[in-house]
Structures are given as C-alpha cells and as structure tokens.
Amino acid sequence: MKRYVKRTLGSEQGMALLAALGGIILIGVIIAGVLFSVTQDYRISDNSLRQSHATATAELGLNRILVDWSLADNQRLKTGDTLKRAFTASGGGIANVTVTRLPGPFFWAVSEGMSGLTRSSFVARRRYGMLLRLDSPNMNFMGAITTQGNTTINGNVTVNGNDAGPAGWASCTTGSNVAGAAISPTTTATVNGSVTVNGNPPVLTTPAASDTNTYFNYGNSTYSSLASSANLVYPGGTTLNGVLPIAAGPTCVASLIPANWGEPNHAVPASPCETYFPIIHVLGNLNVNTGRGQGVLLVDGDMTVAGNFVFTGAVIVRGGLKMSGTGNKITGAVMAASVQVDDNVSLSGNTGIQYSSCALLAALSANAYPRAARQRGWVDVF
C-alpha cells in the first residue's frame, strides 16, 4: 500500500512586521541625518553670529577709546605706559581696550571683544589693533626763529637751532637740528655785539620764510582754528607782569588774571601744572614782563618782552617781535610773520632762543586728539 505524505507551505506570517520595522529604521536614519545637518547648520550660524558680535564689540572698543579720550593722557602717559578701559556693548558683550604709548605722538591700541560679559561666559573672541597718532598741528619750524621781517640783533643774544630738551625734562629725546634763524631772501639782518647763532646751518635763507602758509597753515589745522580753541584769550594791548603757575593742592588752576600758563620747570615732586599746556590767544599787541609759562602762544599783533620771561613751547606772532632786557628765554621755536612792512624783529640784551623738538611736541600735542594712522592703522590680532 502506498503511503502519501502531505506537505504544507511554511507560514509567511511576520514578514510584514519585519518590512515595517526596516522602513521605520530607514526613516529614523533619514530623520537623524536631517536633524544632525540642521543642528550643524544652527551651530555654524550661531557661532558666526557670536563671532560677528565679538567683531562688532572689538570695533566698538576702538571707536569708544577715541571718543572718550582724555587730553590729560597726552602728557601723563610716557613711552611704554599703558591705559586700560572696558566698554559694554548693547545686547551683551564687553570690549577690553589696552592703549600703549609709543615714542613720539603715537599710541598702539588693542581691543579684545567678547560676546559674553565675562571670560567664563564668552563663547567668541576677536582682537583688533589700531595705530593712533595725535592729530597735532604740523608747523613748519625751519629754525629756532623763522621770520620774514627785517631783523636786528644786539648784545648778548643766543639763537640755537641745535635740538635740545628743556632743562629738567628727563624724558626728552632729541631729533634733527634746524637752522638757528630761517629768514626770507628779502630780509635785512643786522648783527652787533656778542651774538651767537648756531644751527644747521646757522642762518638759512629760504623763500618758505616769506610764504604765509608757513606761519598760518599747519596741515589739518590753521592759525584761526587754533585760536578758536584757545584756553586763554586776552584783548589786544594786554600787559602781563609775573606770569606764574597757580596750583591748589593737586589741581592746576587755569587762570586768565593772574596769568597761569603752566609750569615749564620740572622738579621732584612734580607740580600739577607741569602737564598744563594752554593755547593762549592775544587779540592784538602783547607786552609781557617776568614770569614763566608753556604751551602755544598766538599773538595777533606785536609781541614785546621786557625781561626775565621764560616760555617753553611754540610762539606764533603775526606782527613783529621785540625782546630786550635780561633773563629772556624761549625754548621750542618762534615764528614772526611780520605781516606789515614795519613789523620787524629786534633781539637785544641777555636773550636766548633754543630750538627744542621735545618742547614743541609736548606743547602742540597737549590739546590734540588721536586719530587712526592713515597707513597700516588697523590690523587683526590673534
């Protein structure tokens, strides 16, 4: 008898579940990939936003240091000294700015911008550096004295264009020597007595001495713009006796009458008026006798010095200049424009004019604000 074996197909139940699970896994992988890509894009965008915030904050620091500049720092900061400021940006972020004094009229400012308010919380940082230069008048001092007026020198007079720092100014450095006297080709010079004129050369005859731009245009500023910013203004025909520094404790008292023109004599301990370099404007003729001062002196008319007067800085006279008597000394430089035919220069007695680039730099930069240098003024610092 034959036996028959009954065969049955294997059950296919569960295949649909496996296919569904595979689909779910595939969809999950796709979703995970999308989420990862979105998260990365978000992180990149967020980092870029924070870097942009840090960049803007660093630039804010450089801009604010210019806006909030204190003129007192022009004299207080010596070469190598640093100044630190912190500025908070709107929306969070802080800029820490360090300013270092360089030789001459230059400063190096570095601003570190952070997107957080503290180092522990910031997530982005940028540092920018900028070279600053004091925007001081660019006066063309060709000699210890520059004039286009007829000049007469008598007695024990010394005119020296060899650069030297004022007595007692220990931090001064010297630069190039200039002429003792720079005069116009049409100037008549008469010298009598024990007169010493030194410089490179002792006397320079140049057409620039007869150019009004030499006396009244100074690069980004002019005689008029300096006069308009004067700290002290005197009427024409003023006579001053005993110009002396005035201090009240640690404060230098700016005074018109009695006249306080700062303290050119540096000593230990330092006087509070040593860093006071006023711009002085006289609306006509000036007569001054005895005393001392420093800064920038602008005289619209003639200037007459009768004796024992010491001044450190720049002296610009539109008219003539007469110095007589004993004990007169100007350290820095003098320009006498002699705008009228009869505006002459007369130096007599025991009078000295000493060229000093250090004194000129201090006087001209005292009231100047810094600006970014025109070339290579801004760099990215890491």
Residues 18-32 pLDDT 10s: 777 777 888 878 887
Strand, helix or coil for residue 341: coil
Is residue 152 within 8 Å of residue 183, measured between CB atoms?
no
Residue 35 lies in a domain: no
Q: Is the pLDDT of residue 224 over 90?
A: yes
Same domain, 98 and 161: no
User: H or E segment at 100?
Assistant: strand 94-101
DSSP state of 12: -
Same domain, 116 and 99: yes
Instruction: Tell me the mean pLDDT in the region 314-338.
Output: 94
**Beta pairing class for 370-372 and 125-134:** antiparallel
Q: Give yes or no for a cis peptide into 201 (omega within 30° of 0).
A: yes
Q: Is the pLDDT of residue 222 over 90?
A: yes
Comparing CA positions, the residue from 226, 219, 223, 182 lying closest to residue 318 is 223
Instruction: Name the pLDDT band for 237 (thresholds 50, 70, 90).
Output: very high
Q: How many domains does the chain have?
A: 2
**Which of these three, 134, 164, 180, is where a domain ends?**
134
Residue 32 lies in a domain: no
Residue 300 lies in a domain: yes
Structure tokens at 183: 């005069």
Comparing CA positions, the residue from 375, 373, 348 lying closest to residue 104 is 373
The Cα–Cα gap between 338 and 301 comes to: 9
Instruction: Tell me the mean pLDDT in the region 299-325.
Output: 95
> How large a percentage of the chain has pLDDT more than 70?
88
> Tens of pLDDT along 136-186?
899 999 999 999 989 988 889 999 999 999 988 887 888 899 999 999 998
Q: Is the pLDDT of residue 35 over 80?
A: no
> Within 13 Å and on the Cβ side, how many CA atoms surround 253?
10
The Cα–Cα gap between 166 and 292 comes to: 13
Residue 28 lies in a domain: no
Residue 351 lies in a domain: yes
Same domain, 173 and 202: yes
pLDDT score, position 218? 93
Beta-bridge partner residues of 83: 99
Same domain, 173 and 254: yes
Same domain, 96 and 147: no
Residue 371 lies in a domain: no
Residue 3 lies in a domain: no
> Tens of pLDDT along 185-220?
988 888 887 888 999 999 999 999 999 999 999 988
Structure tokens at 185: 């080709």
pLDDT score, position 360? 94
pLDDT score, position 118? 54
Exposed (0-12), middle (13-18) or buried (19+): which is 185, by Cβ within 10 Å?
A: exposed
Instruction: Name the pLDDT band for 43 (thresholds 50, 70, 90).
Output: low
Residue 334 lies in a domain: yes
pLDDT score, position 143? 95
pLDDT score, position 199? 94
Same domain, 164 and 289: yes
The Cα–Cα gap between 109 and 125 comes to: 17
Same domain, 339 and 213: yes
pLDDT score, position 253? 92
Q: Is the pLDDT of residue 117 over 70?
A: no
The Cα–Cα gap between 30 and 311 comes to: 84
Which residue in this structure is represented by tokens 């896994």?
25
- The mean predicted confidence, pLDDT, of the chain is 86
Structure tokens at 314: 């720049």
Beta-bridge partner residues of 189: 151
Number of residues in the chain: 382
Strand, helix or coil for residue 166: coil
The Cα–Cα gap between 240 and 288 comes to: 5
Count CB-CB contacts under 10 A for residue 39: 10
Q: Is the pLDDT of residue 257 over 80?
A: yes
Structure tokens at 30: 């796709």
Q: Is the pLDDT of residue 295 over 90?
A: yes
Comparing CA positions, the residue from 299, 343, 349 lying closest to residue 158 is 349
Same domain, 216 and 320: yes
Residue 66, domain extent:
55-134
Q: Is the pLDDT of residue 260 over 90?
A: yes
Q: Is the pLDDT of residue 246 over 80?
A: yes
Same domain, 191 and 69: no
Same domain, 264 and 228: yes
Same domain, 130 and 147: no
DSSP state of 5: P
Is residue 152 within 8 Å of residue 190, measured between CB atoms?
yes
Same domain, 117 and 148: no
Instruction: Tell me the mean pLDDT in the region 217-233.
Output: 93
The Cα–Cα gap between 235 and 233 comes to: 7
